[in-house]
Amino acid sequence: MPDEDHQSRPSSPTRRKFLLTTGSGVAASVVAGYIPALANSAAGEGDAAPVDAVPNIEGAVPIALRINGKEHSLRIDPRTTLLDCIRETVALTGTKKGCDHGQCGACTVHVNGRRVLSCLNLALMHDGEEITTVEGLLTPDALHPMQAAFLAYDAYQCGYCTSGQIMSAVALLKEPCGPDDASVKELMSGNICRCGAYANIVAAIQQVRKNA
């Protein structure tokens, strides 16, 4: 999780932190309140967890989301998808927006342990449910075995689809799936990779399954 990441290396400004800081300045001046978490951090709260801001959004409704084991009490526009809530409101940007129409899988997260497309869900539908994003897979000490396998097998090029691929792959470990590559490909067909890293993605998943 980014918070642990910051705490473990307090003096090294990560790329993510840089983007958050610069991005938040823009957010505060141009669309204050629209990206509440970022606006909050721009208000001088530094490394405080940039969540749970209560901005003044017309028609906003309260929601309690549990993301990666952490409670977030938020107020959101009812139209907010789970994806936009995770990225823009809670500022966990590991989950990616690809097509935004349920056709690419980049936004895959887990709800109550099952993989879903966060772009085709309203955040409000998940009040009180357990959500896991790619940031919730690793511990402060180690990558999730699937993340490590993706590294070892070079299972990406540009990396944009990778968090969705990994979230799908982790969920697949608990789903009915035949032992062969064809079964893995079938169950991973909802995650599109335009770079075409599919062969290495399948190899990484099979390695984790073999060791499981």
Partner 1 sequence: MRIFEFIRPTDPASAIAAAAQSKTAQQGADVRFMGGGTTLIDLMKLNVETPDRVLDINRLPLDKIEVTPNGGLKIGATVRNSDLAHHAKVQKDYSVLSQALLNGASAQIRNMATVSGNLLQRTRCVYFRDTAMSCNKREPGSGCPAISGHNRTLAILGTSEHCIATNPSDMCVAMAALEATIHVQGPKGSRAILFGDFHLLPGNTPNRETVLEPGDLITHVTLPPPVAGSKQLYLKLRDRASYEFALASAAVVLTIAGGNITRARIALGGVGTKPWRSPDAELALTGKTANEATFRQAAEAALRGAKPQSENGFKIELAKRCLTYALRTAATN
Piece in contact with partner 1 (CB under 8 A), picked from 5-13, 85-93, 110-118, 197-205: 110-118
Per-residue x/- marks for partner 1, 142-171, CB under 8 A?
--------------------------x--x
Smallest separation, CB 37 to partner 1 (Å) = 21
Minimal CA–CA distance to 205: which of 86, 87, 193, 194? 193
Per-residue x/- marks for partner 1, 85-104, CB under 8 A?
---------------xxx--
How far CA 2 is from CA of 94, 198, 210, in Å, comes to 10, 28, 30
How many amino acids of this chain bind partner 1 (CB under 8 A)?
A: 32
Question: What are 208's two structure tokens?
Answer: 């984790």
Residue 120, interface with partner 1 (CB under 8 A)? yes
- Alpha helices (H) in 120-197, listed in sequence order: 145-152, 162-172, 181-187
What is the spatial distance between Cα 70 and Cα 184, in angstroms, rounded to a whole number? Answer: 32
Question: What are 210's two structure tokens?
Answer: 């073999």
Residue 68, interface with partner 1 (CB under 8 A)? no
Residue in 122, 138, 143, 148 binding partner 1, rule: CB under 8 A: 122
Let me know: does 57 contact 76? Beta carbons within 8 Å. Answer: yes
Interface ranges with partner 1 (CB under 8 A): 59, 61, 77-79, 81, 100-102, 105, 108, 114-117, 120-122, 124-125, 168, 171-172, 175-176, 185-191
